[in-house]
Structure 1
């Protein structure tokens, strides 16, 4: 019971850190504009892709269930429905992860500024490695590709489960949110971790030790990213929240520094 209570508290802490990220990001109009630019570009690309997917989902589902062409109308329709649902679930997982990765790559200089501003207000970045953004672009790209590849690998069994009636439409979306939330949290914390010279393995190790908090942060981000237009605000705000989470797992201050009284 105590373990369950602790897990619940950590999950809620992750949710609160996300909320605080939104609050900090929203208080600065210049950061609002700065963070929206790369997200708008990525959003336009993904909205176009989803429009085509939804238009042709019936044809795609029919093509991947070719083996059921000779079945009765009821069973063929049921299998095609499950395939269509599975394709959309997998597409949602891959889209949310790749949207975040592509937006972060496009906007790396922008989001680096946002994350650094957050840390400056909390006392700075201990252990910071001062490298220009173009020196960190390649390592960030490699880490993003590794995460996307992992997401695709994990999406395969979810896709296959989508063929199972009931389970494919109930259990699979829940698993999808958990997997997607975890991967997105690992992705979003890349900026503050990389600024300290810490790579993907370091992120995963520290976040695994705080798994409930990471899921409490990442699952809501994943769900909101399913609404493409909302992603314009969500990604930069989540970068702000991920900066707070990084400081939390590293044992650093996440509260505002007190303003000293003026000298009389």
Structure 2
């Protein structure tokens, strides 16, 4: 239920938080690589793995412009409830360590004809981090999104809100995003675009940006090489102060597999 690459803005939520798998969480962009395997109990287990040239989350690089290895597993019930986890390598630091692990759960389903709602809670966990002078790193973030189609275009809008927590400098953060996705008929190509607005402490990690609010956007293309293998090429940028390999524009390539 998670996207295996969080170049997306709405990112750090399952694939339906982004709704448009390849864009959002992020969240925020990127294809959803999960493949369903349903049992007689109505439970579906799916997994994904990917390698990406740069782990971008809501326009910010969490891998310092370097390659990241990512993957996750999800368990969903046909009632719409789900739980899952997703992990990625990140740039090593004393506070965050070298690994991010996201644990989440929620409900997703059609609330009216053509309109899907997704709500849940996500926990960001950094198992190799050390709570020192920089403070703790783990935090919670509830999320919600709605998605539907307008002609051949799928549209998703959502919000992720992190209340005041020690790891956020005792300040809250809100991220609002919208994305669109459309497949090119009779081809394995899907075009994606998204834009997000961040307001709060997560927009200024470690105080390096000097601002708390910024806008990020992404334009991307997915190529379904096989039913289980997808390649993504995306351009991402923000209006935050330019910092090389952190907030500057980038072209990101991702290769993901589902199982």
Q: Which band: TM-score by shorter chain? A: under 0.3
Higher Cα radius of gyration: 1
TM-score, length-scaled by structure 2: 0.26
Larger strand fraction of residues: 2
Which structure has more relative contact order (CA 8 Å, sep 6+)? It is 1
TM-score, length-scaled by structure 1: 0.26
